[in-house]
A and B are shown apart, each in its own frame.
Chain A
Amino acid sequence: MKIDSPDKLNAWKEECLQKDAKLKKKVMVCFGPGCLAAGCREIYAKFEEILAERKLGDITLESFKKTGCHGLCEKGPLVVIEPEGIFYNRVRTSQVKDIVEKTLAKGEIIERLLYKNPKTKERVLKYHDIDFYKKQTRLALRNLGHIDPDNIEDYVMRDGYQSVAKVLTGMTPEEVIDEVKLSGIRGRGGGGFPAGRKWATCRGVESDVRYVICNGDEGDPGAFMDRSIMEGDPHSVLEGMIVASYAVGARDAYIYVREEYPLAVQHLYQAIDDAKEHGFLGENIMGTDFSLDIHISRGGGAFVCGESSALMKSVAGEVGEPRAKYIHSVVKGLWDKPTVLNNVETFANIPLIMNKGGDWFRSIGTEKSTGTKAFSLVGKVENTGLIEVPMGTTLREIIYDIGGGIKDGRKFKAVQTGGPSGGCLPEDKLDLPVDFDTLTKAGSMMGSGGMIVMDDHTCMVDVAKYFLKFLVDESCGKDVPCREGLYQLHKMVVKVTEGKASEADLQLMEHLSKYIIMGSLCGLGKSGPNPFLSTVRYFRDEYLAHIIDKKCPGGVCRDLIRFEINDKCTGCTACIAPCPVDAITGEKDKIHILDQEKCTKCGACYAVCQFDAIDII
């Protein structure tokens, strides 16, 4: 069925709503990245198996939906029962039968499957009463967890493709761009460039062909917002791209997706097929003379391809090396044509801006950073997961109110934002509002939205080493300051972790960083020294502890620590097998002995010990 007018779209929406209203109950099984890892596929299969054997009145298999990420990944697999909003967490396959027999058949609540508030120890019945969700404002993530991403009707029911109808039949491209400008939305990929200005520049360039590209290359380690959107709500990305293509005048658009995200690719293909079938893509969309095709381009696993000019090379099937940007890609981009490149989250926001207006969007967030931002809140925090908050929310609110504080009651040390190009912020920066400019000023950056919380058991020098190693591996090697500079910088940080560096080395490293920033071609090199610079700026004491005292306060750097078994050891033998070098000996119920000569300090014993019997000295 082709939807070629706003009236038809509204009629279809009505039809979808009526169909949905007939479902007495809906069982949302989360298929987000975290729940997939936790085994939601088995949970869903179990529901199917039970439903095949047992009649459940009005509840049929149609009531069971595989949804995108609900956010609270830490507690997966998650099952939410609508309309009540009953939130079951850590569901095991053995408990599925109980859910069917008790909750679905009789309406009984299964107490032990409910979320437990870690502070009050009370069970929480409903989704939206959980602290984790209370402080969030979900715009880009609006449909995640509420719809089946493979079902276009679910999307249409929740105002899907309304902005396409509105824009194509009632607005000129210039009006669309003005609305986006008015909203003040800045690119969510990290740079924070105002999207409206980008679109306007592209449209202003004289050319017969223009392109729109969606950057779904989310290469920052510790970030999975874009993955979750592409997997859980692919149509919202397509809808945003259709509006953008209309605004700048593109006939073809591309989505560049990382190959590590096979499910995202699968859902996007399905979404494109469904959108085509219903006339949202292809020839004469909404009965107008605007036509558009969206193609998928799969990345090859190179971090540098998140950089705009490298990404465009990769879409063209070439090696993803960046170029000097004397001419911006909005002027000369893909195949040397004017190109608009925005990321997944930016596009997912566009339909809302079109439907509700730029003024509405700018009423959320701060003056210069409007709207909301999605983050993946991970690391040593109680509630890890996917969140979205208005810009201007403080780091403390995010980590303590939404995240529930530091895991296992340990002490907060730093929060890392912005991926490898970002930086680490210490405790006295926790009250900073999160927006593009504040984070940059503090020496970190917004990045695409990975937020990694670190506790006192993390070594900041090791963190710098980790990111520099990452960047050395991922540098494309085109220019010397990045290729050789980062290599040397990494080597010197390694020297610090080995306790072999001197204070003069530290100065040399700061010096070298300056030249890397000055001489590098693209963003990867220009921001490459950031992990070192931000850690040395806020955690200089830790560097000095490594250099002068030859100690690693975080207990991580192997050359500077040793493991010892204390008298809390119960003789449970759990640590003996994991030791790869057989350095631990002992009998049951007797304190074990660790042979320092053999020990490689891998930490396996420390990780498995349940009794705090291993000290790191």
Chain B
Amino acid sequence: MKPEIDVAELKEIISHSPQKPSSLIAVLQDIQRKFHYLPPEAIKETSSALGVPLSQVYSVATFYSAFSLEPRGKHTCRICMGTACHIKGAPMALEQAEDQLGIKAGQTTPDLRFTLEVVNCVGACAMAPVVIIDEKYYGNVRVDKMKRYLDGVRDED
């Protein structure tokens, strides 16, 4: 199930940046922020607005980990896998999250509610291991708390 994309809205977002090739990453970031992914229409519109070949837009969109070509869930659960988090048990937290959500890292639940991601260090190493759900940070995560964190988000919906 792919969400409907409003092309006028897309054009509006693109128009905020200078219409030149060097704005490519910035434009894609703005679209990603709004739609949580880059729909095919976005790739096409960006290509024609900035005068960058379609192939090049696609190449940038697939190179950087900030971009996704698949729709993301309403909530994003990010497990930090920085070095400090790794040695303090982040792999266990990931396993718990995978178990709780029934998906693997990088996937989205079929109901488009959660996306589970692994990130390379968010710079909150002193609180390792760190889990970030949407914008909220959870530090010194204990594996048995993962369920509570996710339930908290589910309850808010």
Contacts and interface: CB of A to CB of B under 8 A. Distances in A.
- A-B complex is real: yes
A452 B87 contact: yes
B65 A34 contact: no
Contacts of A419: 83
Interface string B132-152: 000001110011100100000
Nearest to A470: B120
Contact of A298 (B25, B137, B139): B25
A36 interface: yes
Given A259-B66, A300-B63, A317-B21, A38 B83 contact: no
A37 B124 contact: yes
A416 B83 CA distance: 9
Interface stretch (A213-221, A437-445, A518-526): A213-221
Contacts of B83: 221-222, 378-379, 416, 419, 450, 452, 463, 466-467
B29 interface: yes
Given A37-B130, A608-B142, A580 B64 contact: no
- What bracket does the count of chain B residues touching chain A fall in? 35 or more
B144 A604 contact: yes
Contact of A378 (B120, B122, B126, B138): B126
A85 interface: no
Given A260-B122, A302-B65, A318-B60, A607 B89 contact: yes
Contacts of A318: 24, 56, 60
A251 B132 CA distance: 39
Interface of B: 21-26, 28-29, 52, 56, 59-60, 63-67, 81-84, 86-89, 92, 95-96, 99, 119-128, 130, 137-139, 142-144, 147
21 contacts: A33-B124, A37-B137, A38-B139, A76-B127, A218-B123, A221-B83, A221-B86, A222-B82, A222-B121, A224-B123, A224-B124, A259-B29, A260-B122, A261-B123, A299-B64, A302-B65, A318-B24, A379-B87, A384-B126, A452-B87, A602-B95
Given A37-B137, A223-B121, A260-B119, 20 more contacts: A76-B127, A220-B121, A221-B84, A221-B86, A222-B83, A224-B125, A300-B65, A302-B63, A303-B120, A317-B25, A378-B126, A379-B87, A379-B128, A416-B83, A419-B83, A452-B83, A452-B87, A580-B99, A603-B92, A607-B89
Q: Which 8 A-B pairs have the closest CB atoms?
A: A300-B64, A73-B126, A224-B123, A221-B121, A221-B82, A37-B137, A317-B24, A222-B83
